[in-house]
Amino acid sequence: MLESQLNKGINIIREYSNEFPSKSGIYKMIASNNEILYVGKAKNLSKRVKSYANPLKLNFRLQKMISLINKIDFIITKDEAHALLLEASLIKEIKPKFNILLKDDKSYPYIVLRRSHKWTQVKKHRGKKVKGDKYFGPFASVYHVNNTLDILQKIFPIRTCSDYEIENRKRPCIQYQIKRCTAPCTNLIKNKEYDKIVSDLNNFLMGKGNKVLKDLLKTMNIYSKKLEFEKAAAIRDKIRSLEKINHLSNKVLEKVGSVDIFCITKINDIFAIEVIFLRYGRNFGSNTHYPYVFDKEKEDNILNKFIAQFYNYTSNIPNEIYVSHKIKEKELLEKALSIKSKNNVKVKIPNDKNIIETINYGIKKAEKNLAEKISKISKITKLNKLIEKKFDLKNSINKIEVYDNSHFAGKEAVGSYIVADDNGFLNNEYRKFNIKEASTNDDYGMMKEVLSRRLKRAEKDFLPDLIIVDGGPGQLSVAKNILQEYNIKNVSLISISKGKFRNSNNEVFYNFFGKKIILCTDDPVFYYLQRLRDEAHRFAINNHRIKRKNNLFSSQIDNIENIGPKRKKNLLLYFGSVNELKNAKLDKIEQVPGISKKVAKTIYNYFR
């Protein structure tokens, strides 16, 4: 069967490649259901695509891909470097299953000095950058940003509050009391003095810590000579904190400047890549990534593809990138990254002793995290095998969806499901549904609505191997009917009933056929299923609480004429609560941004 499909795919490749131009660009291998199987780049499209027609050069992965091909599409680019950038961008967007994939598709946080207000604000930032503001990063995680900000605020007391708060505050907040802000909101500091603190913070983040220390020592001596010992002691404490930071940061990296370091390792053909951020000689943290890789891939190709995709998630590309291994098409990657960053980017294997030590540290950290991940996967795989056996399931279990509903006295009903696989909980695949059709007093109806909305448009490739529903035989029967209605046959089904007393480890389990399955409380499968159910319950409850809070918080304002979301937000921000708005005088309501005298009178009269 595979051989005939492979020959068919090879014939399609030969047919399309004869029509392709001999120019650079990207090509897309597409299946009969229009699923994009693979995205590749080429210096010569015709020649590159034609190379897939030689069966002697095809490994099993490529044979499988070619057997699924129905057509091939292409896009011409200016040159091969632009093709590499487009390839990385499309892989990020489409996530084809036969490509090497960077699965950790998150943006990285920064610290920003917001200069758009006369009192500069320091805060963490993600997303689009604003012209005129100063950004420092990227940092490996929000933890690293929060930790850095916490230390910096002790030394450089710059405001972190919003523009709205600073404009409307009448007296200093707690941050001023604990000496983490100089209270510019109440003009307890002059602009010139505040700007000096901002300048010192900027210099410190730029790696000019010694200059800041010298300035602080000079200021401390001035206060001492004036016998202002309290002020001198405060400066002394800041100096000690700065010296502590300098001691903790790796001083030997000061000459390195700003670089990113990529360290690759593998255990049993599973790869991990540690990305380390160094900025101005300071370590801004590191992250371990686990790229989706097929068997027999080599480090040089994985690292090349990974780096190209990585800089689709962060636009901050340093001029120097260090790698632990030689990479494939290094010059092409350098050219592509230089185009993207509009600077000259070099990719190097280091010969500097300090960078080599940092790479060795990165490899060891990646190996440790990878070993833990493999151990976790192995443990979950064993548990899934036990579920298959105990519940008499016909298919293998890898991906699981767990469903739950939540409401309060029949109001604010929400249905949801969570997703888990060998890697643990997949938070980015969790989904919630506001109940639209079913009665909120009808648990069966709510379960039917949620499952129907989930499964009626589901692609076969994206279905779970096992669905777990919260409930007894009734909910199980509803779920079985939905699977039959949509002709879904390769998904197993079980249910978990809470038992007579919640949280007392007396859950009752049912398999697909409604047979009660007895699990002892010392059985690891019992606690694994309980953990899955509890996560689904937590997610459902949180969504219900958010909906309930929003409805309760704004229900009265919703009834006022000419009050939309923007005016509603301004009113609540200005007064803090609906009760404060109720008791407000007319002239106070008129002061709210976006509220005219006519609208203010409508609001005032509504509450009276």
Residue 340: give its domain's CATH number: 3.30.420
**Separation CA 303–CA 319 (nearest Å):** 18
**Cα-atom radius of gyration of the chain, to the nearest Å?**
30
| Contact in structure between 290 and 370 (CB atoms under 8 Å) | yes
DSSP 3-state assignment of 396? Answer: coil
Q: Residues 454, 500: one domain?
A: yes
422 and 351 in a common domain: no
Question: Are 428 and 530 in a shared domain?
Answer: yes
Alpha carbon distance 470, 475 (integer Å):
7
Domain boundary among 251, 284, 302: 251
Closest CA relative to residue 420, chosen from 388, 370, 379, 466: 466
**CA-based angle 378:107:94, to the nearest 5?**
70
Tokens linked to 142 = 């929000």
Question: Is position 324 within any domain?
Answer: yes
Q: What per-residue confidence (pLDDT) applies to 553? A: 45
Residues 73 and 123 placed together within one structural domain of the fold = no
Q: In 3-state terms, what secondary structure has residue 288? A: strand
Considering the domain architecture, whether residues 336 and 413 belong to the same structural domain is answered as no
Residues 100 and 291 sit within 8 Å (Cβ to Cβ): yes
Could you tell me the strand order of the sheet in which 121-125 lies?
121-125, 110-114, 134-136
Low-confidence ranges of the chain (pLDDT < 50): 248, 252, 409-410, 552-554
Residues 154 and 235 in one domain: yes
For the chain, helix (H) and strand (E) counts, in that order, are 20, 19
Distances from the Cα of 13 to the Cα of 7, 33, 54, 151, angstroms:
10, 17, 10, 59
Q: Per the structure block, which two tokens stand in for 41?
A: 């780049």
CATH number of residue 36's parent domain: 3.40.1440.10
Task: State which residues form the domain around 516.
Answer: 400-544
How many domains does the chain contain in total?
A: 5
Specify which residues 261 forms β-bridges with: 276, 322
Q: Does 392 fall in a domain?
A: no
- Residue 501 has a CB neighbour count (10 Å cut-off) of 8
Residue 241's pLDDT is 72
Q: Look at residue 394 and tell me if it is in a domain.
A: no
Is 520 exposed, middle or buried, given 0-12, 13-18 or 19+ CB atoms closer than 10 A?
Answer: exposed
- Do 295 and 204 share a domain, yes or no? no
- Does residue 93 fall inside a structural domain? no
What is the CA 204 to chain-centroid distance, rounded? 29
For residues 43 and 178, membership in a common domain is answered with no
47 domain residue, yes or no: yes
Token look-up 């989904």 returns 431
Q: DSSP letters of 230-299? A: HHHHHHHHHHHHHHHHHHHS-GGGTTT-SEEEEEEEEETTEEEEEEEEEETTEEEEEEEE--B--TT--H
Whether 65 and 37 have beta carbons less than 8 Å apart is answered as: yes
Neighbours of 591 (CB within 10 A): 10
Indicate if 360 and 484 belong to the same structural domain: no
List the Cα angle 394/397/399 in 5-degree steps: 140
pLDDT at 409: 47
Q: Give the position of tokens 């802000």.
A: 181
CATH code for the domain in which residue 589 is found: 1.10.150.20
Residue 213 CA: distances (Å) to CA of 140, 210, 312, 409: 27, 5, 38, 62
3-class secondary-structure state, position 541: helix
Q: Are residues 348 and 295 in the same domain?
A: yes
Rounded Cα distance between 37 and 423, Å, is 23
Contact 85, 99 (CB under 8 A): no
Question: Which residue in the block uniquely carries the two structure tokens 């833990």?
Answer: 372
Per-residue confidence (pLDDT) for residue 46, from 0 to 100: 93
Burial class, 172, CB count within 10 angstroms (exposed 0-12 / middle 13-18 / buried 19+): middle
Answer yes or no: is 391 within a domain: no
Residue 8 pLDDT: 87
pLDDT of residue 53: 87
Eight-class DSSP state of 101: B
Query: Pick from 491, 513, 544: which residue ends a domain?
Result: 544
Report d(CA 288, CA 264) in Å as an integer.
10
Domain assignment of residue 102, yes or no: no
- CA dist list (Å): 9 to 30, 57, 98, 576: 11, 15, 15, 65
What pLDDT shows up at residue 552?
45
What are the phi and psi torsion angles at 207 (to 5°)? 90, 10
Residues 46 and 73 in one domain: yes
Last residue of a domain, one of 217, 251, 285: 251
CA–CA distance, 12 with 46 (Å, rounded to integer)? 13
pLDDT of residue 521: 81
pTM for this structure? 0.70
Report the CATH number that the domain containing residue 497 is assigned in CATH: 3.30.420.340
From the list 100, 96, 129, 94, the residue with the least C-alpha distance to 114 is: 129
Kindly state whether residues 232 and 310 are assigned to the same domain: no
With beta carbons less than 8 A apart as the criterion, state whether 142 and 109 touch: yes
**Is 272 contained in some domain?**
yes
